[in-house]
């Protein structure tokens, strides 16, 4: 099942049904450019047998980054390093896509002035609201970044409309309190997403893969929820999108995020089944896949066309080759006792660095030191970011 190729509407074929879902790898150099460790990591993942690998949170400008380790793709970028990255990630006929991010209200405050659909002053979240002119500039900005990704040789792009970042903020009534054409009814709240899709498609032409990552639900009372998400899937079906990557949860302060979550997965398969009835666009389902049997049945049962793995490919970067040859069923996941909010994601982020450098794996007991290393590295990069890009 997992070995079957998957054809996307744009004409690109993915060589099998295993994807590395987008992760913010925190391996940028602090000035928005790729490091050699990052290039080595995407080559390693590609050699591990996956069909598609997506780099998380690539920014079109330095102004609304999620973290100071993000890549920034614009006219100031180090093109040579980016071309090396694109080539390394395409080793063995894998596809390397960039997830186009904009953290909006949740932009990393020390390196930005967070701004979302509406001004908010909540515990842990203070942001300004965007003007109409600022909103109108966004589709062209995403389009410019997508065009550059194509020029540099990346295989495709994924628009990040999940997890509480900008395009999800517009969808979510928790963030979006606007009373103009971009707020209120769902039709208005999804307007920006549809405008961005259309601008990106126009910029890259019909044959370049464009995906979106969409929340099935924010898993928050008053947030974006399943019935509305199904209506968004139906609206996206009428656009030129090649892959809908279904996820959920959010980094809204105090909320549950998929990357910190423990428990039995996969998380969003029921929703994927409902989404299937709304669209013919191929579906990727991400979140909570732990075993070969789960991945195979998601495909066999018709819930997903391709499975997205994040943490499984951090603990076992070569997992796809084992799964494709039926050799290993389960990666070894760490178990943490009462981790702090964000701690699990920080541990995985530092484990990504170990993989990139080819160094020994972290143990679950390293949680506290991993969190410290993660935070102090970001502090250093914030200084670089502010001096180079601020
Ligand atoms: C370290 C780390 C960083 C992540 N960064 C991103 C990101 O930049 N963009 C994104 O869409 N999801 C991101 N995620 C979420 C994953 O793509 C995925 O949705 C989530 O981890 C659930 O999948 P899993 O159970 O296979 O890990 C991240 C996850 C981890 C562990």
Instruction: Kindly state if the Cβ of 244 falls inside 6 Å of ligand 1.
Output: no
**Residue whose CB lies within 8 A of the most ligand 1 atoms, among 18, 20, 23, for a mutation test:** 23
Q: What is the pLDDT along the chain (390 residues), one digit of tens a residue?
A: 899 999 999 999 999 999 999 999 999 999 999 999 999 999 999 999 999 999 999 999 999 999 999 999 999 999 999 999 999 999 999 999 999 999 999 999 999 999 999 999 999 999 999 999 999 999 999 999 999 999 999 999 999 999 999 999 999 999 999 999 999 999 999 999 999 999 999 999 999 999 999 999 999 999 999 999 999 999 999 999 999 999 999 998 888 888 888 878 999 999 999 999 999 999 999 999 999 999 999 999 999 999 999 999 999 999 999 999 988 788 999 999 899 999 999 999 999 999 999 999 999 999 999 999 999 999 999 999 999 997
**Residue whose CB lies within 8 A of the most ligand 1 atoms, among 19, 56, 100, for a mutation test:** 56
98 Cα–ligand 1 center, Å: 14
Cα separation, 251 vs 11, whole angstroms: 34
Provide the residue count of the chain.
Answer: 390
Which segments of the chain are extended strands (E)? 6-7, 13-14, 18-23, 52-59, 95-101, 115-116, 120-122, 125-129, 156-161, 210-215, 243-247, 283-286, 306-309
Q: What does the domain layout of the chain look like in residue ranges?
A: 6-388
Within 13 Å of residue 224, how many CA atoms lie on the same side as its CB?
A: 36
Q: Whose CA is nearest to atom 29 of ligand 1?
A: 259
Cα separation, 379 vs 26, whole angstroms: 12
The dihedral of CA 202, 205, 207, 213: what is its sign?
negative
Cα separation, 116 vs 133, whole angstroms: 13
| Ligand 1 atom at shortest distance from the alpha carbon of 346 | 1
**Residue whose CB lies within 8 A of the most ligand 1 atoms, among 67, 69, 310, 323, for a mutation test:** 310
Instruction: Please give the CATH superfamily to which domain 6-388 belongs.
Output: Aldolase class I (3.20.20.70)
Instruction: Kindly state if the Cβ of 21 falls inside 6 Å of ligand 1.
Output: yes
Instruction: Report which secondary-structure segment, H or E, holds 139.
Output: helix 132-151
């Amino acid at each position: 099942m997992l070995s079957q190729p998957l054809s996307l509407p744009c004409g690109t074929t993915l060589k099998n049904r295993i994807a590395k879902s987008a992760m913010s790898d925190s391996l940028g150099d602090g000035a928005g450019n790729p490091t050699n460790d990052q290039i080595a990591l995407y080559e390693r993942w590609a050699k591990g047998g996956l069909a598609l690998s997506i780099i998380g949170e690539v920014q079109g400008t330095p102004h609304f980054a999620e973290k100071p380790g993000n890549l920034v793709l614009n006219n100031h970028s180090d093109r040579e390093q980016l071309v090396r990255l694109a080539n390394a990630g395409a080793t063995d006929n894998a596809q390397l896509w960039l997830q186009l991010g904009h953290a909006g209200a949740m932009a990393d405050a020390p390196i930005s002035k967070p701004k979302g659909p509406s001004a908010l002053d909540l515990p842990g979240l203070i942001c300004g609201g965007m003007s109409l002119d600022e909103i109108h500039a966004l589709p062209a900005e995403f389009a410019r970044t997508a065009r550059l990704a194509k020029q540099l040789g990346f295989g495709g792009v994924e628009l990040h409309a999940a997890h509480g970042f900008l395009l999800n903020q517009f969808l979510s009534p928790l963030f979006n309190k606007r009373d103009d054409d971009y707020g209120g009814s769902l039709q208005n709240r999804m307007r920006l997403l549809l405008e961005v899709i259309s601008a990106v498609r126009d910029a890259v032409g019909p044959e370049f893969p464009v995906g979106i990552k969409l929340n099935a639900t924010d898993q928050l009372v008053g947030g974006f929820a399943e019935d509305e998400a199904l209506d968004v899937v139906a609206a996206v079906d009428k656009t030129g999108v090649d892959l809908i990557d279904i996820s959920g949860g959010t980094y809204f302060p105090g909320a549950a995020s998929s990357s910190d979550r423990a428990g039995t997965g996969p998380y969003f398969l029921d929703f994927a089944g409902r989404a299937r009835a709304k669209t013919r666009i191929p579906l990727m389902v991400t979140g909570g896949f732990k075993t070969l049997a789960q991945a195979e049945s998601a495909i066999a049962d018709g819930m997903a066309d391709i499975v997205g793995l994040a943490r499984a490919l951090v603990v076992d970067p070569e997992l796809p080759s084992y799964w494709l040859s039926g050799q290993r069923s389960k990666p070894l996941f760490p178990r943490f006792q009462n981790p702090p909010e964000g701690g699990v994601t920080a541990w995985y982020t530092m484990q990504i660095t170990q993989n990139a450098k080819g160094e020994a794996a972290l143990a679950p007991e390293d949680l506290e030191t991993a969190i410290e290393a993660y935070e102090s590295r970001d502090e250093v990069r914030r200084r670089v970011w502010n001096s180079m890009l601020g």
